[in-house]
Structure 1
């Protein structure tokens, strides 16, 4: 009897220039996946210092730490807030090293100003959720436990004003960090450090029932409904739907959040974003629970506009909004319409 030849692996999920998932579980990643045009950096940003730091030696995970230039001679030296930033990419792609994410963090460090920590995390489908959320919690624990070393080298950091921020999938990470903080799953000694607020830019949430913006907004240049659905298929635990608590904070199986003591939140949504209504609904539900949540909507903008054009007019206003929130220690900066 002739032996049968095993079938060659075939593509079961094709993410275009980003990656492919084969039938045998192999993931092929393409080096040229970044389709964002690299931004031209303003000369002033060359004064921002940065370095890469390992925060999880076991998994080889790093972050990039940014420190703004000192004040001009005679200027008042003040301790700076610490912004922990998580990049977007649908949980599938991205790194703090990407030109556009790097530019965003250079700008935040310089213009807020703040000490900014831009962290990488494990990506799906090799590492499905909640791996990215666990890595984000590790960043917060690392920051809490390694303050002495930080203060010795970066003495301007104010650990009483730590903000957790992110865009798209990174904003989804921020939500889960905030819930872990508020529910006691991620303990933080307030005598050592305090998370003063969270910033969520165009949060990447999901759900089985389509929202109006998902049904009516046109596909964006960097996010479409099929690509969003595909990202959730590859990022969620196998067999999970988009109503899984890791995707939908208010799905049928999601835990109640009324008793969760979340930090003050700033949520930014974009008018043309397919996910716009999910962000607005998120804000409305949390406000109904009595949470401190502010929302700012950018008209005429689409998903991820800050990373796409870090130095455009909309990005200028976004940085001003974040600056008021951070330096106002959670003060209301929203249009409450």
Structure 2
């Protein structure tokens, strides 16, 4: 995959880029067939991390893919329980899945290298289900985890040491879900489950005023500005602009909840690359966190593009190390 280029005029058709067609009823037809991976729960297989799918809400067709490092099966004492990462996949809110092979492999490697138990949430997509549907599904997943009698979660996951994580749109979901948990009160998750921090990998934020990086990388071949515009148009509630708090974290009630996050002692890891047109939004977000006194760890690099950790094993491994250090500190 090539890196970004600079241009002053938008030239990329977002419908062609995404291979989607808008239907009269407000749905879209997705033309890209993205490779998917089935779970692998056979303990006799060679994979270092086992995985399985468990339904959450069958009427909404939501479920969770659990990832368990194989080595913990040899020692199930309480002292050996692993941190829990609740993961939300990317795709601009409008496509891809927890079963998409790049996200499946990412979670396998992350579970193995941290190590951690991971729950990758299958949430509803826009425009068929506009925001806040994905946030609702994320909260429902947390409550499901809290009450679950699943043996992997009960025996091997330390739900009192839980982190919300996502890439791109998933980073946005992790952040907005964290805001909801803070607003509703951590006791809503019960006495045992505790969120310790958020891990936001190139999170998808926006606003009505164009940033310098959006203009500089307008025709980036990986994530052009026309595509992000269309994703926001299809995912935000009808009738609002990109200065809605779901999109722009510096406005609305969300920014005011950061005082509560600071009080809770949560830390937030934010990663990004200067070849991603979202970079200025991410750096502005980090500045806001720091000004609010929230414990934040920034990991911004140069020379790479949006989603690079999903396709470049060396970059993924470096991010996994950052996450391991973040969780263990």
1:275 maps to which of 273, 278, 293? 278
| Structure 2 alignment gaps of length 5 or more | 1-13, 37-44
Equivalent residues in 2 for 1:1-337 (5 A)?
Answer: 14=15, 16-30=17-31, 32-33=33-34, 46-70=47-71, 78-146=80-148, 149-151=149-151, 154-184=154-184, 187-189=187-189, 191-217=191-217, 219-251=219-251, 256-261=256-261, 263-309=266-312, 312-328=313-329
Paired positions, count: 305
Residues 64-120 of structure 1 deviation map (CA, whole Å, 9 limit, x = unaligned) = 100002169899972100111000000000101111000000001111110011111
Tell me the secondary structure at the aligned position of residue 55 of structure 2: strand
Provide the rounded CA distance (Å) in 1 between the counterparts of 2:75 and 2:131: 49
* Contact 1:270–1:297 (8 Å) recurs in 2: yes
Provide the rounded CA distance (Å) in 2 between the counterparts of 1:16 and 1:213: 20
TM-score (ref. length: structure 2): 0.85
Cα distance change of structure 1 residues 240 and 189 upon mapping to structure 2, 3 Å threshold:
closer
Provide the rounded CA distance (Å) in 1 between the counterparts of 2:190 and 2:121: 22
Which residue of 1 is the match for residue 8 of structure 2?
none
Q: Structure 1 residue 60: deviation in Å?
A: 2.0
Q: Structure 1 residue 200: deviation in Å?
A: 0.2
Q: Structure 1 residue 186: deviation in Å?
A: 6.6
Cα distance change of structure 1 residues 256 and 226 upon mapping to structure 2, 3 Å threshold:
same
TM-score (ref. length: structure 1): 0.83
Higher helix share: 2
Identify which range, 75-84 or 216-225, moves more after superposition: 75-84
Cα distance change of structure 1 residues 253 and 291 upon mapping to structure 2, 3 Å threshold:
closer
Provide the rounded CA distance (Å) in 2 between the counterparts of 1:208 and 1:129: 18
Q: Structure 1 residue 164: deviation in Å?
A: 0.6
Cα distance change of structure 1 residues 96 and 75 upon mapping to structure 2, 3 Å threshold:
closer
Cα distance change of structure 1 residues 253 and 325 upon mapping to structure 2, 3 Å threshold:
closer
Provide the rounded CA distance (Å) in 2 between the counterparts of 1:252 and 1:53: 35
Provide the rounded CA distance (Å) in 1 between the counterparts of 2:211 and 2:185: 31
* Contact 1:51–1:65 (8 Å) recurs in 2: yes
Q: Which entry has the higher C-alpha Rg, 1 or 2?
A: 1
* Contact 2:218–2:225 (8 Å) recurs in 1: no
Identify which range, 69-78 or 90-99, moves more after superposition: 69-78
Which residue of 1 is the match for residue 41 of structure 2?
none
